[in-house]
Structure 1
Amino acid sequence: MDDTTSAFSSLTISAIREHAVEALRQQWDHGLRRVRWNWPEEREIVKMKRPSYWEMAIWHRQTLCGLVLGKPSQKRSRLYIEGIEGNPSPHPLKGKITPIALLASEMYANLIGCEEVWLVEPDPALLDTYARAGYHLRLPNKLLKKVFGLKSFATKEL
């Protein structure tokens, strides 16, 4: 069995619950994080706004490797991914969190009848990764920019 097969054989996905929040606090080197999201707080905000929110904790055995949070639009035509973050510390799924997060999010979006997946304010350093996955950079219209203060999206039609 090669390293990739071994890493995926021990992959599990769960909801972001207290166990994941505790692993985030204990396992991640917070000095190396590229994103300064407060995941428990952001999760509660999204959950209040949209009870049908999408969340995912990506694990390799007992190591929390990544987190994903999003919500469908009111008409469920789009799934907005608010955040994807990988554990900055070394782990067996390093470099694979974004593809896993995108694939699982696309599958969920398809399942609930969405026509598109929108990554909200994607990390500029990952635009090539998103493009390879079929996403296209899109600037928000005036309403989205004014009301939500959004700068950009990366979108993919399903």
Structure 2
Amino acid sequence: MQTSHSSTEAKYNQLRDLSLEVAQNNLPQGLKDLVDLKKIDLRAISQARRWEYSLSRSDDADWSWENGFRSYAYRHPKRFELAIWYAKAELCGLSIGKPTYSGAKLRLDVIEGAPWNHPLKRKVVELSVAAAEVYGDSIGAEQIRIMRPVNNQVIKYYQEFGFTLFNGKQSNTPTYLWRNL
């Protein structure tokens, strides 16, 4: 008998909550009181809507949080999701991903920071990966993958965090960076 979508969503929602709690507790002392790691909610989507119209947003960023997140979330009940807040008021980053079919790898499909200067500039990837590692560990994943990096500058940045590039063929295997847990 197949598990229903709603029970799968409920089970993984609980894992998301617990993982974000652990990731929050693991934050460095200087960030613990200033940063909140939360699930993506309507407030986060509302603030991210402004990103899409910002002239500061990279031309390579073509994901619409407002239009894409709900359907992504529904299609992937085992997903990883993260909203990074500063001082409970400023949305600084969003990330989503999902386990591979086997569950051995956790893909991060989108990692995006607010397109303007904010207090967590150059920390969004670090915080996203840290939270993804906790979630990946909770679901039994052995590897984190950052899918489809948008350009060479971003690839080099991800490599600073110990990720290794895999150059895929866009027709059947996408390019990604990986790091074992």
Do the aligned residues in 1 keep the contact of 2:144 with 2:178 (CA within 8 Å)?
A: yes
Does 2:74 match 1:48? yes
CA displacement at 1:94 relative to structure 2: 1.1
Q: Which residue of 2 aligns with 1:60?
A: 86
Q: Which residue of 1 aligns with 2:113?
A: 86
**SS of match in other structure, 1:134:** coil
Q: Which residue of 2 aligns with 1:127?
A: 155
Name which of 103, 120, 125 aligns with 1:76.
Answer: 103
TM-score computed with the length of structure 1 as normaliser: 0.84
Q: Which residue of 1 aligns with 2:5?
A: none
Q: Which residue of 2 aligns with 1:155?
A: 178
Q: Distance in 1 between matches of 2:119 and 2:100?
A: 34
**SS of match in other structure, 1:146:** coil
Which stretches in structure 2 are left out of the alignment for 5+ residues?
Answer: 1-27
Does 2:45 match 1:21? yes
CA displacement at 1:54 relative to structure 2: 0.9
Superposition RMSD on alpha carbons, in Å?
A: 2.2
Count of residues in correspondence between the two structures: 150
Do the aligned residues in 1 keep the contact of 2:109 with 2:146 (CA within 8 Å)?
A: yes
Q: Deviations along 1:102-146, whole A, 9 cap, x unmatched? A: 111112111211011111111321222211211100022x6xx43
Which stretches in structure 1 are left out of the alignment for 5+ residues?
Answer: none
